[in-house]
Structure 1
Amino acid sequence: MTNSLLKRSLIVATLLGVSSLLMLSFIQRFTISIPNIQSQCLETTMFIVDKHDKDIQPGDLVAFTFNKDDPHFDKGMSFIKIVAAKSGDSVSVSQDELKVNGQKVGIAGMRHVVNFLELNPSDYEYDVVVEENELFVVGETIYSYDSRYWGAIDTSTILGKAYAIF
């Protein structure tokens, strides 16, 4: 083997090794999420989830494991929603609007889901203070089934901060 062929082989091997390490680091930290067609709660169709970033604030997208007893979704499913409120925030829910600390949050109303699932509308008109280690999460379309229906999520269920790609 000539000296220049050996150098090229070492360079290629080094580049492959470095590329593999970078790819492994990326895969360990991030997940690509593509919601199924039935999950029409957000306008975005593809997300990247940073599994190491769990510093979630209102307005952020959050990926979490659904751990509620619910007739419409199984425990253990992964969801991505928008954080509307954090621990200590006051939330007021009605069919037509959501208020956090007295400020209206610009999301779609609940009438479509309430009618589609044949729910009692009066069951979803309430005021609550988000408890310690919880987040109140919502979607942005009329199809969103979220904390307004099943309550706040526990921060221990957070998979990471999500970022919209498409």
Structure 2
Amino acid sequence: MKKHMPAIIVATSFLLYFIYFSSRYTLAYPPGQSACLHASFFLIDKWDTDIDQGDLAYFEMNVENQFYPTGLRWIKKVAAMPNSKVSIEENRVVVDEVTEFPLSLRHIITTLNLSGNSIGEIEDYTKNIQLKDDEVFMIGETTNSFDGRFWGPLKIEQIKGTAYAIF
């Protein structure tokens, strides 16, 4: 038994590390042809829900929309934190009149309308939103992103972790 003790300790250590890693972290990738972020493979820390503007966040979508069922898990960029003012314009999202995210509404609205999934016109989505103290605003990074510009703010409680782009 003494002879096998180092191997047992090493095996137990690996097992405990695996249990810890798998309970805290998840690997994720976008389904199908989704191209809302520049990365395509992510490490998600499910224990870290403390997000900041510019972070990638893993969240549960509980906002009704015509394309996806509620309850799905998504990864998007945090554009605005609680109590921020978000201005959605045709070619950009501006937060607190300081931080600008260049994103065109025209491409995705035209694409969806031409595919038979009528989503409306650009004017339906250009607006100002004042976030409450329990809300954040999420965006994608590409012109194909279906994001907060279409569904509005999320409650902070919907954030389920921080995501890190691997590649």
Q: Give the TM-score range, shorter chain.
A: over 0.9
For structure 1, the residue ranges without an aligned partner over 5 or more in a row are 1-5
Distance 1:13 1:36 in 2: 40
Query: Which consecutive aligned stretches of 4+ in structure 1 deviate over 4 angstroms post-superposition?
Result: none
Q: Displacement of 1:104 after TM fit? A: 4.6
Distance 1:125 1:134 in 2: 19
The letter for the 2-side match of 1:12 is A
Deviation per CA, 1:78-98, whole angstroms, max 9, x where unpaired? 110000001111111012111
Distance 1:75 1:95 in 2: 27
Identity of paired residues, percent? 32
CA contact (8 A) 2:83 2:135 kept: no
Q: Which is higher, the Rg of structure 1 or of structure 2?
A: 1
Q: Which residue of structure 1 lines up, in the alignment, with residue 123 of structure 2?
A: 122
Deviation per CA, 1:94-130, whole angstroms, max 9, x where unpaired? 1211110112523321111111222221111101111
For structure 2, the residue ranges without an aligned partner over 5 or more in a row are 114-119
Distance 2:39 2:18 in 1: 25
Q: Which residue of structure 2 lines up, in the alignment, with residue 3 of structure 1?
A: none
Deviation per CA, 1:30-71, whole angstroms, max 9, x where unpaired? 111111133210010111111111111101100001111111
Distance 2:56 2:80 in 1: 12
CA contact (8 A) 2:138 2:147 kept: yes
The letter for the 1-side match of 2:121 is N
The letter for the 2-side match of 1:124 is Y
Distance 1:116 1:81 in 2: 20
Q: Which residue of structure 1 lines up, in the alignment, with residue 134 of structure 2?
A: 133
Distance 1:132 1:33 in 2: 29
1:1-166 equivalences in 2 (<5 Å)? 6-118=1-113, 119-166=120-167
CA contact (8 A) 1:51 1:161 kept: yes
Aligned length: 161
Q: With structure 1 as the length reference, what TM-score do the two structures score?
A: 0.93
